[in-house]
Structure 1
Amino acid sequence: MASQQPHHPAHHNSFPATFRSVKSTPRHNTLPATSNLRHGVRDPSHDLDGFFTETFSLAKLETLQKHFWLAGARRPASPLHQHLFLGRRVVITERLDMHLLWESDGLVYIKPLPRYLLEPGTWSRYLTCAPSCACSTSSAKCSTKTRREIALGFLYSYACLISYESDFELALNSEVAGARLLPFRSDEDGTSWAAWKVIVSDLLATLETEDVHARFLHAELRLSRLNKVHRVTQWPLFQPYNRRSHSYGDLFRNNMTWLATSTIFIALVLTAMQVGMGTPQLAEDEAFLNASFGFTVFSIVGPLGVVALVFVAGVYNLLVEVPRLVRSSLSKAKAGKMRRGVEAGDDVEGSGQGKAVLGGEQPAAQQRKSMFTQRVQTSSAWQRSFEAGTEAGPTGVYGGPGAVPT
């Protein structure tokens, strides 16, 4: 990263204006097929600003930002080959707040680098503040500037991950992580590696420390420690940052495993104390007797308390999930009831004297079908105009006139 220098907003917004070595791709081909699956399947090209806001968001991780020193050192991320050398297995994630988190069982989560992040139009439209933005003349941060810091930090993490040509080849090998980490094709003449070196060179030549989000200055973060901190600092309590147990069997099994290991250690200590009490030197030692008494009580109460806590955690999760499941079931039942009512109304209207057809009105089912057909036709028209070199899409299809999906 470049050395500390006075910050110039104009220079800051100039990177990355172009990527000389990246072949341009039609923008609609660089987006995922759907987004925001938790709240419903959506086409990201219909709300590009919302898509980029959602993608480049670290809201959940930022709540733990002041505790990052507990989970990882403030240093650049390790190259990809180093992770494999340490015996870690790369797991693909599309969540940016899970990028470069690792677990003690040998997993490291890495988000693949999307091609739209190497498109100049993405940066100029969605990751660059307007000249009139207040953040260009003050220390305040707008949402676009925050998104830009996160995107730059994400690119910086890849500049650290892909340091050597061996890292580049590993990132292109789908057997390493189950999918390619870079949006390149490996060429025999090495042009892709040369292209990556140009991108990294342009990045490091203009990047300043204050341009990067604080999360990406801490390299890899240990997920188990983030889980512990999240349990005691965030509400609701006892909720981990990322839950790997998706069933109550996993919850009890994971906790009982380390409890069984602790029980073996406790049994060894109690056996040693019993032997010590049979020796003349310790049998009459008051301090040793008091310690033996206290540890004996602890060995009885401790495991029972842990089992009780695990049981309480299971009941707590059940009480949290049941209302949500009931609300979801009721909403689905209500939606199904309304849908049946609409279909019944269509049948009644269709059984009349042809009012819907003769009067120019369509049943609701036909209206839904025609709306879908119109949307498909409009999308096809937009694609033809894009391929012909026209940037502005049809009004109202992708968020308004001139809104081009990236």
Structure 2
Amino acid sequence: MKQNHTQLPFTTRVFKEQSDPSDLLPASYHFYEQAVSGRRRRRVADPSQNVAAFLDTELSLQQLEGIDKHLWLAGAKRPPTQLHLQVAIGRNIVLADRIDLHLLWSGDGKLFVKPLSRFLLSPDFWQTHLTCHDYCSCSDRVGSVLSMESSPAIESRYPLPPPNTTCKERLRKVARGFLYTYACLISTESDFYIAIEKRLLPREADDSSIKWAQWQRFVREIIAQHDSSRVHPRFIRAELRLSRINVIHRTKQFLFSEAYFGGWNNYSSFFRDNLAWIAAITAYLVLILTAMQVGLATERLQANTAFQQASYAFTLLAILGPVCMVSLVALRALIELIKDLRVIFRQEKKHVNTSTA
């Protein structure tokens, strides 16, 4: 079985290869599994025991996959801005080791950046775990003969894959896009040393940093082979505004659904943030009613039926609107409280049962 070597985005060896391939992987990784109760539970596992499962988690864009058609609301199609310019405009680079948070920025100046994984800089790892064999449907060779040869001829040239073999094109597109963002972020020596300082780049086994000359060759090869059709649509866009991602996620899911990221950690912050926008809307309604009251004092608008009806409608809105909005916030807080109590009682019950067993 041959591997399609054209799927490798680079051949440059940025750092020395490890004698043990598992040294390229993290010590452990976290993932979620579906429990019998229907809730997701977080688990920790050894990535070297099941590399395929680890890659499915490590290169998963999670909920971004479901809203990728609406990402135009959160970011434009353009390359990511260089690191030194990110710092110049006042953004604070925050490490977030989740690829679905990579290059999301918040209103308080945070820019979430996923550190570049060591295994993604290894051509050998790509060849072993991120390339498909020639018989895979994503192979260029298979696609070129589908319209030229009969089915028996294709089957004889491209035998059926062995059991439990899956196409890795989706993972490859995510990994290619991720590497391209780093080629854009770190383009000058200033960017390179910021990345070294922020620990965005992996280090050698002796904890020394990789060399600028090696990074130059790697980036130039990534850019030379870049093809937007071979990367995930998320990475066609640069930085994404987190607040808009939260709005898109909530609109796509449900009004009372959780935020995509950066939700409220306690009830005081929940009420503070929600009551703030309610107070802003109420203040705006007060300005409108004050202006209408002045208008009703004039002779021209006193006899205007349309203005009288508008004043009546805004008066009701000013009375009922804040009451309804505060009630919705209180209802949301009550729902969250019930959910938290259910989790607490379930954990306590499980702990008691384990202790008595």
TM range (shorter): 0.7 to 0.9
Moved more, 26-35 or 253-262: 26-35
Residue 116 of structure 1, aligned match among 113, 116, 119? 119
Q: CA deviation at 1:299?
A: 1.3
Contact 1:91–1:108, Cα closer than 8 Å, also in 2: yes
Change (3 A) 1:86 1:132: same
1:186-205 matches, within 5 Å, as: 192-205=211-224
Q: CA deviation at 1:143?
A: 4.5
* Partner residue, 1:22: 15
Distance 2:247 2:13 in 1: 44
Contact 1:135–1:142, Cα closer than 8 Å, also in 2: no
Q: CA deviation at 1:232?
A: 2.3
User: Which amino acid counterpart does residue 285 of structure 2 have in structure 1?
Assistant: I
* Partner residue, 1:162: 186
1:109-258 matches, within 5 Å, as: 109-136=112-139, 137-138=142-143, 142-174=166-198, 180-184=199-203, 192-234=211-253, 237-258=256-277
Q: CA deviation at 1:21?
A: 3.9
| Higher Cα radius of gyration | 1
Q: CA deviation at 1:96?
A: 0.7
Distance 2:175 2:222 in 1: 12
Moved more, 228-237 or 100-109: 228-237
Could you give the per-residue CA deviations for residues 273-322 of structure 1, whole angstroms, max 9, x where no partner exists? 22222223333333222222211211111111111111111122233333
* 2:307 aligned with 1:314: no
Change (3 A) 1:191 1:95: closer
* Partner residue, 1:329: 348
* Partner residue, 1:13: 7
4+ aligned runs moved over 6 Å, structure 1: none
Moved more, 321-330 or 251-260: 321-330
User: Which amino acid counterpart does residue 181 of structure 2 have in structure 1?
Assistant: S
Question: 3-state SS of the aligned residue for 2:173?
Answer: helix
Q: CA deviation at 1:20?
A: 3.4
* Partner residue, 1:278: 297
* Partner residue, 2:37: none
* Partner residue, 2:47: 44
Q: CA deviation at 1:261?
A: 2.2
Moved more, 303-312 or 78-87: 78-87
Residue 72 of structure 1, aligned match among 69, 75, 88? 75
Cα RMSD over matched residues?
2.5
Change (3 A) 1:260 1:331: same
Q: CA deviation at 1:57?
A: 1.0
Count of aligned pairs between the two proteins = 319
Q: Can you give the 5+ residue segments of structure 2 that lack an aligned partner in the other structure? A: 33-41, 145-164
Residue 294 of structure 1, aligned match among 304, 313, 328? 313
* Partner residue, 1:63: 66
Question: 3-state SS of the aligned residue for 2:93?
Answer: strand
User: Which amino acid counterpart does residue 90 of structure 2 have in structure 1?
Assistant: G
Tell me the TM-score normalised to structure 1 length: 0.72
Distance 2:254 2:286 in 1: 37
Distance 1:191 1:336 in 2: 51
* 2:106 aligned with 1:103: yes
Distance 2:354 2:134 in 1: 46
Question: 3-state SS of the aligned residue for 1:40?
Answer: strand
Distance 1:191 1:71 in 2: 34
Distance 2:122 2:217 in 1: 15
Could you give the per-residue CA deviations for residues 213-240 of structure 1, whole angstroms, max 9, x where no partner exists? 1110011112211211211222685332
Distance 1:228 1:97 in 2: 16
Contact 1:184–1:192, Cα closer than 8 Å, also in 2: no
Could you give the per-residue CA deviations for residues 141-198 of structure 1, whole angstroms, max 9, x where no partner exists? 9552111111111001111111222211221223xxxxx111258xxxx982221111
Q: Can you give the 5+ residue segments of structure 1 that lack an aligned partner in the other structure? A: 1-8, 175-179, 339-406
Contact 2:14–2:121, Cα closer than 8 Å, also in 1: no
User: Which amino acid counterpart does residue 33 of structure 1 have in structure 2?
Assistant: A
Moved more, 301-310 or 233-242: 233-242
* Partner residue, 1:93: 96
* Partner residue, 1:394: none
Residue 31 of structure 1, aligned match among 21, 25, 46? 25
Distance 2:260 2:167 in 1: 24
Change (3 A) 1:191 1:105: closer
* Partner residue, 2:154: none
Distance 1:290 1:91 in 2: 53
Tell me the TM-score normalised to structure 2 length: 0.81
